Structure formats: structure tokens, C-alpha cells
Amino acid sequence: MTEKEKQERAELIRDLNLEHMKNNELRAKIRQQESIIKQLRNTLASLGIEDVIEAEIEGYNRPKRGRPKRIDDDTRQRIKELKKNNLSVRDIAKKEGVSIGTVSNVLNNFLN
């Protein structure tokens, strides 16, 4: 084995040892955090409020479904009324502060 190969091998072994040490440190931190969580759960259970806290956490972490509405029902209604009064889509968009596409979608019932 050449000197260069020996150096490359030594560097590889050093890198593997560093990765191994990092993994062990991460595992230790995870075990520590799991222990803290277990202690907190036991404390909450002894106080009789664990179910309340769990319900709050579930409600807080629950993702919202769908995309939020960009315009409200009142704006939709005004857009439809303005169109009945023969305003152009462009004028309605300017007046309501929305895009031309949004006005078009409302008028075509894409945004109910």
C-alpha cells in the first residue's frame, strides 16, 4: 500500500469515526428529550390535567385544510352586483382591489 493510499484510508477512518460520534451524540440527545417528555407526562398525569393538555396540543397542531379564501362573501356579492350594473371586469377589479382573474372566477362561479 502506497503512502497516499495509507493517508486516504486514515482520513476515511477518521471521517467514519466522526460520523459515528455525531450519531451517538444525537441518540443521547434524543434519549434525554424522551426522558424529559416522559417526566412531564407523569407530572401532568399526577395533576390530572394531561388529557386537557393533550387535547390542546392536538387542536393546535392540526393542520388547516385547503387554501384560505382570498376574498369574503361580501366582496363576491359586490362583484356580481357591479357586473349587473354593466361595469367591465377591469373596472370591477380596480374598484374592489382584486385581480381581473379573481373577478372572472367569481363571475364564472369558480369561487363560490
Give per-residue pLDDT as tens, 7-63.
888 888 888 777 888 888 888 888 898 888 888 888 777 777 666 666 666 655 566
Per-residue cell: 76: 363576491
- Which contacts qualify for 68-77: CB closer than 8 Å, 24 or more apart? 69/111, 70/98, 70/102, 71/96, 71/98, 71/102, 71/106, 71/111, 76/106, 76/111
Q: Which amino acid is at 111?
A: L
Record the pTM: 0.40
**C-alpha span between 101 and 25 (Å, rounded):** 54
pLDDT of residue 91 exceeding 90? yes
**Mean pLDDT, to the nearest integer, of 94-102?**
91
Give per-residue pLDDT as tens, 69-90.
778 889 999 999 999 999 999 9
> Where do the domains of the chain lie?
3-61, 73-107
pLDDT of residue 104 exceeding 70? yes
- Which contacts qualify for 93-100: CB closer than 8 Å, 24 or more apart? 96/71, 98/70, 98/71
